[in-house]
Structure 1
């Protein structure tokens, strides 16, 4: 069936009315299914859906009057007819894929709408990078709405990015056709302190009548939280406890519960609905960060939906959290998120409401996937050459660049250590007593070295510190130019020679992830676009990510999706301890702190 250019509801209304009345034939009719109505929370068997102009014209017990000689008919055969799934908060770049390849990966899983914040590329390429992501998103056969990034840098004064986003950039972007709101306001201390720049970005978004995304990554639910809510963010996805979700919805925010590749925050918070009985209309499901291996092998929003159901949520309530609640939050309830007249014809056919096999996916009235196989093209942009040349090391790195000199005369020191927490974004601020050998502080036991290598301006600067929790053994190192949010290069290793090898390898290939062990390359995922993404096929990228995971395990790592933990070690807006180009950052106090706590006897 030839795709119709998507018209607005107002433009399509004459045809929709004519089809519903039986005066004109529909383009497509889905016949004989169970209508999953997310407005009334009902299952209505033996219903039909008539579609015209890529929108729903009629939903009722018999659409026979809408069928003409050229109408395509799909027999639902008693299957469930669900709205296409919506991801309320996510970063395309975390999939290591461009918007086109991300769409190709998730369409077979039933995702038909995404609300993407491209703040990763904003840190590397600025407003131009956002525009490139926005433009490729608009080419796709599903709905990818862009949230204009708000915080590059995420914490001014605590990191240096490739570019900075200004209130003027935000105001300009609000006029772009695919911009749906402001991306997560990560600089929550700035909002709490009344920072004029942050408040100006929020104001520009509100003047445009669009949604302000939130990010309050603190367990403090006292006056600071209330000040943040007063600043205007309409949602938050950083909750990790039931009380976080409760506090947000009580203040008129939407609680976004995330299940990404490594963030498992649904189970602890969904009890606010399943046990405390809070109104589920203000709860939304999202992924935040999913890498390509998860997308290809495990799923996307269908994975989140199944997980929420497994956590005790009623399937229809969970489905509302992944469809109509999301649409309403962004002011698009009359446009998508349900199977009802006028909405975009984004529909899933599934034979089981709990196991949720995604058997047929329809987007804008066109069958886009069948039984896990995509049926449409996802057009690519021609990315400019300078977007593929963003890793500037300034020199060839040596093992000596990763040395940590000890205070004069010290034999042992107590050092601050970043503690990785499995399946959560926050870290722990730990301490470790470490030996000094030949004037250098050496990692030992479960403690590894971590380094941030500046890669935007070619300064050759390396900041060194310590990290614990990966469990690496033997001489090895892993380097990544995906390092939220400033996206310098993060190197974690047990051996300085391997750290230099991994870092230089990424300099040579233009970015990505590399793991070396015993002086040999064990895994490489090339991410040439901004050092963040590949425009290769999602399946090929996922295979390389899988090989990386195996290499990490062979090096002793047993964490779930440890790559995601690695990539967030520079995120200086999530407590407790992070690394940046400014040094080691105490994110409970939002200040640079010393690596060495004290010299021991």
Structure 2
């Protein structure tokens, strides 16, 4: 990528350095002066009251005591009125697709909350549409006020040989994509067993990354903190967001990793993992705070990185240290600190005006030296497509081949049948247990009844199926899942990490058929049914994202959550927990289109053990 970023229409620093210096000398007038703010100085970790930011060419020319610099005739003056001035927040690990909207909708939702830059791993769309789909998402994001950087997916599919995705991104593809200007790193290396075992293809991807002079980001989903973690770090991987315990986060920090503490819609790790810092005296220069997977209703109702910061601060992290974790630390990790991450001379003027530091109450947001949002609302309608034009803009960005990706006929009830042992009245089965707000599952056994030669759902245990939907062999994996509390009905979704096949979970085969039929009709999405369809969220872009505005998608997701509750599920953010039933790289037991998979020993197991 370029050594320096453009500040909106002003161009990169080499294009404007002479004029910026002239403004700093006082020989040219600034375009804007932000007066009388309390500067959050992330370089020194202090608050400097009564400070001015002198801005030209979308960048900061001077940081001075209030009133030192006078503006010219055309200078705009903005009174901060004592508000805290922080650098724009940077999310160092995020999947836009999890917000269920494309880059435009994501930008509309997060920039007013203070997020001005994001380092996305687009492996969701990559698993469906490959590099071509990733390029569509990046091209859409290129001219938005939100600065989007890409970490190129490292594991498409996530578990080769155990599942079938819509695309394959091999080491040569990775090598080619690492040369794109907007790529800054290799995306999360989820195949941690392959790293540790010395898998040749995995290490080819790592080698390509290092030869390109970029970072390799990690996903070490093991709870181990010894030899395997050391091997993972020794391979050159420099960050990880998978710590869920204090001990795991502390081990990563002590081994020199940039340690990303995650607070998404479902994975709420910060209250536990922040203890690695708050209960020790370790240095926080490698501490990062991330959102990872955040649903649309979380963004509209609770915020984005501002929400993550609030949780960290409420759990004992110093507010300035927390802000450093999403500004200077973030920029330094990805090597963009020449331009971003601090409010100091030469940096791009991405500024968050905070009413209160401890509650991270965002008042106004400035991007490239221009105020773009205030009190959660956009100020300039020209910076984004109007919501009435949103769908047309998305369709312009994503051609038909990216919006017609469910390449199967609807499954039948016979497709969902799980045969029982001959003449058995009951069957002992292997069950996936999901846990609220946790990425991990556990393996259990249960005894279920048999009807007409097939095992049926009962006692809080639902049937599950994953149907290959990318135009391959149409294979179906079947199993049982518990932990969701379903009492009746079924759900179906094309959001099923990471291969995003059609996932169907239900209490009876007929309901599962109804749910699957509706998702196929929508060409992707999420559906809840009982006797009829209760709620749906159409997701036509790759079967992952909506072509509707964020506000509308958020309302539909809220309706879907109500429908899940009507079916008996009262989990927090149940969609994300359900979508990971198919994620074949996290322990202990998962379901893919190829079958029920033990993700500790990486071997398929029969869902029915005996009669």
TM range (shorter): over 0.9
Matched, 1:221 2:225: yes
Structure 1 match to 2:407: 392
Give the Cα separation in 2 of the matches to 1:66 and 1:392: 64
Matched, 1:492 2:500: no
Q: Do 1:29 and 1:63's aligned partners in 2 also have CA atoms closer than 8 Å?
A: no
Superposed CA deviations along residues 363-385 of structure 1, whole A, max 9, x for unmatched, are: 11111111110134236552111
**1:4/1:250 CA distance change after superposition, 3 Å:** closer
- Residue in structure 2 matching 1:481, options 494, 508, 518: 494
| Structure 1 residue 462, shift from structure 2 partner | 2.4
Give the Cα separation in 2 of the matches to 1:594 and 1:401: 16
Structure 1 match to 2:384: 378
Structure 2 match to 1:328: 332
Structure 1 match to 2:48: 44
| Structure 1 residue 458, shift from structure 2 partner | 5.5
Structure 1 match to 2:428: 414
Give the Cα separation in 1 of the matches to 2:547 and 2:43: 38
| Structure 1 residue 223, shift from structure 2 partner | 1.9
Structure 2 match to 1:147: 151
| Structure 1 residue 552, shift from structure 2 partner | 0.7
Give the Cα separation in 2 of the matches to 1:48 and 1:577: 56
Structure 1 match to 2:71: 67
Q: Do 1:49 and 1:63's aligned partners in 2 also have CA atoms closer than 8 Å?
A: no
Q: Do 1:50 and 1:63's aligned partners in 2 also have CA atoms closer than 8 Å?
A: no
Matched, 1:587 2:602: no
Which deviates the most, 150-159 or 379-388?
379-388
Structure 2 match to 1:515: 528
- Residue in structure 2 matching 1:345, options 345, 349, 354: 349
1:390 counterpart SS class = coil
Give the Cα separation in 2 of the matches to 1:585 and 1:384: 35
Give the Cα separation in 2 of the matches to 1:150 and 1:157: 16
- Residue in structure 2 matching 1:441, options 455, 464, 489: 455
2:332 counterpart SS class = helix
Q: Do 1:584 and 1:594's aligned partners in 2 also have CA atoms closer than 8 Å?
A: yes
1:58 counterpart SS class = strand
- Residue in structure 2 matching 1:457, options 471, 479, 489: 471
Structure 2 match to 1:403: 417
**1:9/1:553 CA distance change after superposition, 3 Å:** same
Structure 2 match to 1:5: 9
Superposed CA deviations along residues 134-173 of structure 1, whole A, max 9, x for unmatched, are: 2112121121111111100111111111110011111111
Superposed CA deviations along residues 165-223 of structure 1, whole A, max 9, x for unmatched, are: 01111111122111111100011111111112111111111111111110000112232
- Residue in structure 2 matching 1:108, options 84, 105, 112: 112
User: Structure 2 unaligned runs (5+)?
Assistant: 1-6, 386-392
Structure 1 match to 2:574: 562
Q: Do 2:113 and 2:303's aligned partners in 1 also have CA atoms closer than 8 Å?
A: yes
Superposed CA deviations along residues 531-572 of structure 1, whole A, max 9, x for unmatched, are: 000131100000000100111111111110001111111110
Superposed CA deviations along residues 340-363 of structure 1, whole A, max 9, x for unmatched, are: 111111101111001122110001
**1:590/1:6 CA distance change after superposition, 3 Å:** farther
List aligned pairs for 1:159-238, cutoff 5 A: 159-238=163-242
Q: Do 2:164 and 2:468's aligned partners in 1 also have CA atoms closer than 8 Å?
A: no
| Structure 1 residue 4, shift from structure 2 partner | 5.0
Runs of 4+ in 1 over 6 A off after TM superposition: none
Normalising to structure 2: TM-score of the pair? Answer: 0.95
| Structure 1 residue 402, shift from structure 2 partner | 1.1
Structure 2 match to 1:552: 564
List aligned pairs for 1:121-132, cutoff 5 A: 121-132=125-136
| Structure 1 residue 408, shift from structure 2 partner | 1.5
Q: Do 2:246 and 2:276's aligned partners in 1 also have CA atoms closer than 8 Å?
A: yes
Structure 2 match to 1:356: 360
Q: Do 1:139 and 1:378's aligned partners in 2 also have CA atoms closer than 8 Å?
A: no
Give the Cα separation in 2 of the matches to 1:162 and 1:546: 29
Superposition RMSD in Å: 1.3
